[in-house]
Amino acid sequence: MILIVDFGSQFNQLIARRVRENRIYCQIAPPAITIQDIQKLNPEGIILSGGPSSIYEKNSPKVDEKIFDLNIPILGICYGMQFMIHTLGGDVKRAEKREYGFAELQIKKSEGLFTSVDSKTSCWMSHGDSIKTIPKGFSITASTENTPIAAVENEKKRFFGLQFHPEVHHTPKGKKMLQNFLVDICKCKQTWTMKNFARNAISEIQETVGDKKVILGLSGGVDSSVTALLLHQAIGNNLTCIFVDNGLLRKNEAEKLKKTFGQHLKINIRFVNAGGKFLKALSKVADPEKKRKIIGKIFMDVFESEAKKIQDAEYLAQGTLYPDIIESQSAFGGPTSVIKSHHNVGGLPEKMKLKLVEPLKFLFKDEVRLLGKALRLEDEMIWRQPFPGPGLAIRIIGEITPKRLSILKEVDAALLEEIKAAGYYRKLWQSFAVLLPLKSVGIMGDQRTYENIVAIRAVTSKDAMTADWAKLPHKLLGKISNRIINEVQGVNRVVYDISSKPPSTIEWE
Ligand code: XMP
């Protein structure tokens, strides 16, 4: 494995992605990690990340200097390089010109990190400090016009430093440089596959949980579904999943889930049909945040009372992913991870005195999908678009009534069918319909109509932090609109949302 020390760069997750693309496992740890913990992890190499600080700032982040005595190859990137050079006796100074953007890299030594990299190549710079002098044992291996010391190495000790960012796409040969470090220099074996991950995760769960019982809140999303499969394979019927049907799901979702998990996979599931409770509490509520609060509270109550029926449960499993953990910086031996509240059963573990099992906590979303594939989860579940916890409640603008809910379910089902038939479902981050609290005049046959308007929202995105409205073909949009207006009673107008995030959000509420 490779250890990445996180000095706060916005590109840290990208470094981890690059390592894992080489089928090598890595973990990100804060600089406060102790030398004992590093030794326990037994990494084949260490990457010191970039970061926004200057090494001369009073509280600039530092990792224990003893890492340089471990006889492990180390690659410092940007701030990580400056930390290494400063610690080992070189000189780092504020650069006369801050350098940001593309620069042409002139490579002086086509070996080590630069094996099979052309002697002239582009690189991406983003720094205010530069190396002025290098410590004994180091040599300069590349430079740019503004940065004479753009790359260094201490061949004997296997220490390397890059002033630029090899992990970003703007450094076209960056992938090769990282691969050279990981495979040639650190001698990592490229054996980290999802099959291996699953095998290890299953035996780890067995070791941790033993013969104790585990509860899991199943939502039908890919994260909780893959978590359920892993646990089921590890502990069989000692896993009980709880699925709360809040009545705000897409058409036929609850039935599909019952079939997949209960009948096909034979996982122990308790289905709680709580639609009535949710709808009653939401009656006459139009404010989006009030809707969210009501839904969150009822979900907790229903989940807790169902969980209490499971005798002697000691663990709660959750499909927490790595980005959530990295944000809270507690993956490495810290306290229980802080979790985005809308993902998970916030507060329940403490309340019910349950211990947490989070087998996906070191994975990224696309890795979870690959893991699902390795566990033979059906494609339809693996590729499900994200669906918000409050469900259709936040897609019915204004008050929710059974009638409006039923209109939206029909509209949404027709939309999804067309999106899937046109081969767009997987290409889109999300695609859904929103029922507006407005009516408009139309004409059907010879009759004047005065009916509801629905908006179609379809976006592309990598992580939901930003999103672009999808440029769906007009022909497809036309087909969707025709189907909805012809088939769903109560709708006579369809509009397409052409706003991106930011400044809009993906959901309308
Ligand atoms: P926005 O609308 O903020 O959404 O651009 C970003 C992503 O989060 C989802 N979302 C939610 N998920 N509970 C959830 O579980 C919520 O209250 C919630 N609000 C938004 C949204 O679908 C998108 O994927």
Determine the average pLDDT of the residues in 378-407.
Answer: 95
Taking the CA atoms of residue 277, residue 279, residue 282 and residue 286 in that order, the dihedral angle to the nearest 10 degrees is: 170
Q: Is residue 368 part of a domain?
A: yes
Whether residue 407 sits in one domain with residue 264: no
Whole-number average pLDDT of the chain: 92
Q: What's the pLDDT band for 346 if we cut at 50, 70, 90?
A: low
Q: What's the pLDDT band for 366 if we cut at 50, 70, 90?
A: confident
Determine the average pLDDT of the residues in 300-325.
Answer: 90
Q: Is residue 507 part of a domain?
A: no
Task: Give the domain-ending residue among 133, 160, 185.
Answer: 185
Q: How does pLDDT run across 243-284, given as a tens digit for each residue?
A: 999 999 999 999 999 888 888 888 999 999 999 999 999 999
- The listed range with the strongest mean pLDDT (178-182, 320-324, 386-390) is 178-182
Q: Is 441 helix (H, G, I), strand (E, B) or coil?
A: strand
Cβ neighbours of residue 24 under 8 Å, at least 6 residues apart? 1, 2, 182, 188, 189, 190, 192
Task: Write the CATH number for 418.
Answer: 3.30.300.10
Residue nearest to atom 21 of ligand 1 (CA): 388
d(CA 3, CA 41): 8
340 lines ligand 1 (CB under 6 A): no
What distances in angstroms separate CA 401 from CA 67, 263, 293, 495, one per listed residue? 62, 32, 18, 22
Predicted local confidence at residue 331, as pLDDT: 35
Whether residue 373 sits in one domain with residue 422: no
Closest ligand 1 atom to residue 501 Cα is 5
Whether residue 269 sits in one domain with residue 135: no
Q: Is 324 helix (H, G, I), strand (E, B) or coil?
A: helix
- 348 has a pLDDT exceeding 80: no
Q: What's the pLDDT band for 204 if we cut at 50, 70, 90?
A: very high
Determine the average pLDDT of the residues in 308-326.
Answer: 88
Q: What is the 288 CA–ligand 1 centroid distance (Å)?
A: 12
Q: Is residue 395 part of a domain?
A: no
Predicted local confidence at residue 264, as pLDDT: 80
Predicted local confidence at residue 464, as pLDDT: 82
Whether residue 32 sits in one domain with residue 53: yes
Degrees, nearest 5: CA angle 410-414-418: 170
Whether residue 296 sits in one domain with residue 158: no
Provide the H-helix boundaries in 283-329: 288-308, 322-328
Whether residue 202 sits in one domain with residue 150: no
Q: What's the pLDDT band for 327 if we cut at 50, 70, 90?
A: low
Whether residue 222 sits in one domain with residue 240: yes
- SS3 string, 244-280, reads EECCCCCCCHHHHHHHHHHHHCCCCEEEEECHHHHHH
- Pairing between β-strand 239-245 and β-strand 269-273 as defined by DSSP bridges: parallel
Query: Which of the residues 167, 253, 306, 410 is marked catalytic?
Result: 167
167 tagged catalytic: yes
188 tagged catalytic: no
- 110 has a pLDDT exceeding 70: yes
Specify the higher pLDDT residue, 88 or 341: 88
Which domain, by its residues, includes 297? 194-382
Q: What's the pLDDT band for 323 if we cut at 50, 70, 90?
A: confident
Tell me the two tokens of residue 7. Answer: 């000095």
Q: Total structural domains in the chain?
A: 3
Pocket test for ligand 1, best of 294, 461, 506 (most atoms within 8 A of CB): 506
Residue 288's Cβ-count burial label (10 Å; 0-12, 13-18, 19+) is middle
505 lines ligand 1 (CB under 6 A): yes
- 338 has a pLDDT exceeding 50: no
Determine the average pLDDT of the residues in 176-182.
Answer: 98
Q: Is residue 393 part of a domain?
A: no
Whether residue 253 sits in one domain with residue 133: no
Cis peptide before 437 (omega within 30 of 0): no
Query: For residue 397, which of 340, 345, 457, 448 has the smallest C-alpha distance?
Result: 457
Q: What's the pLDDT band for 150 if we cut at 50, 70, 90?
A: very high
Determine the average pLDDT of the residues in 68-97.
Answer: 95
Give the DSSP letter of residue 185.
I
466 lines ligand 1 (CB under 6 A): no
Q: How does pLDDT run across 288-312, given as a tens digit for each residue?
A: 999 999 999 999 999 999 999 999 9
d(CA 129, CA 442): 65
At how many degrees (to 10) do helices 474-487 and 402-421 cross?
Answer: 140
Please name the helix (run of DSSP H) or strand (run of DSSP E) that holds residue 452, with its range, or none: strand 447-460
Do 459 and 501 meet the contact criterion of CB atoms below 8 Å apart? yes
Q: How does pLDDT run across 119-144, given as a tens digit for each residue?
A: 999 999 998 899 999 999 999 999 99
d(CA 372, CA 378): 8
Q: Is residue 392 part of a domain?
A: no
For the ranges 50-64, 328-342, 479-493, the lowest mean pLDDT is seen at 328-342
Q: How does pLDDT run across 245-256, given as a tens digit for each residue?
A: 999 999 999 999
Tell me the two tokens of residue 505. Answer: 């959000």
Query: Which of the residues 127, 165, 232, 343 is marked catalytic?
Result: 165
365 lines ligand 1 (CB under 6 A): no
Query: Which of the residues 26, 78, 186, 188 is marked catalytic?
Result: 78
Q: Is residue 390 part of a domain?
A: no
Cβ neighbours of residue 359 under 8 Å, at least 6 residues apart? 201, 204, 205, 227, 230, 231, 317
Cβ neighbours of residue 348 under 8 Å, at least 6 residues apart? 300, 303, 304, 307, 316, 354
Q: How does pLDDT run across 3-49, given as a tens digit for each residue?
A: 999 998 888 888 998 999 999 999 999 999 999 999 999 999 999 99
Residue 93's Cβ-count burial label (10 Å; 0-12, 13-18, 19+) is middle
Ramachandran sector of residue 262 (left: φ over 0; alpha: ψ -120 to 50; beta: rest): alpha
Whether residue 169 sits in one domain with residue 316: no
Q: How does pLDDT run across 442-480, given as a tens digit for each residue?
A: 998 889 999 999 999 999 998 787 899 999 999 999 999
304 lines ligand 1 (CB under 6 A): no
What distances in angstroms separate CA 490 from CA 217, 288, 391, 401, 451, one per listed residue? 35, 23, 21, 14, 5
Whether residue 214 sits in one domain with residue 175: no
Whether residue 60 sits in one domain with residue 119: yes
Give the DSSP letter of residue 328.
H
Q: How many other C-beta atoms can be found within 10 angstroms of the C-beta atom of residue 231?
A: 26
Do 195 and 374 meet the contact criterion of CB atoms below 8 Å apart? yes
Q: Is 113 helix (H, G, I), strand (E, B) or coil?
A: helix
Predicted local confidence at residue 342, as pLDDT: 41
Q: Is residue 116 part of a domain?
A: yes
Tell me the two tokens of residue 459. Answer: 């976006």
d(CA 67, CA 33): 11
Task: Write the CATH number for 344.
Answer: 3.40.50.620
Whether residue 347 sits in one domain with residue 252: yes
- 340 has a pLDDT exceeding 80: no
d(CA 431, CA 323): 23
Cβ neighbours of residue 37 under 8 Å, at least 6 residues apart? 29, 332, 333
Degrees, nearest 5: CA angle 164-501-15: 25
391 lines ligand 1 (CB under 6 A): no
Please name the helix (run of DSSP H) or strand (run of DSSP E) that holds residue 436, with its range, or none: strand 430-444
Task: Give the domain-ending residue among 382, 416, 431.
Answer: 382
Query: For residue 428, which of 370, 489, 387, 483 has the smallest C-alpha distance?
Result: 387
Q: What is the 388 CA–ligand 1 centroid distance (Å)?
A: 5
Do 105 and 122 meet the contact criterion of CB atoms below 8 Å apart? yes
Task: Write the CATH number for 39.
Answer: 3.40.50.880
Query: For residue 219, which of 193, 184, 256 has the smallest C-alpha distance?
Result: 256
For the ranges 252-266, 401-415, 443-457, 489-503, the lowest mean pLDDT is seen at 252-266
Q: Is residue 391 part of a domain?
A: no
Task: Give the domain-ending residue among 185, 215, 232.
Answer: 185
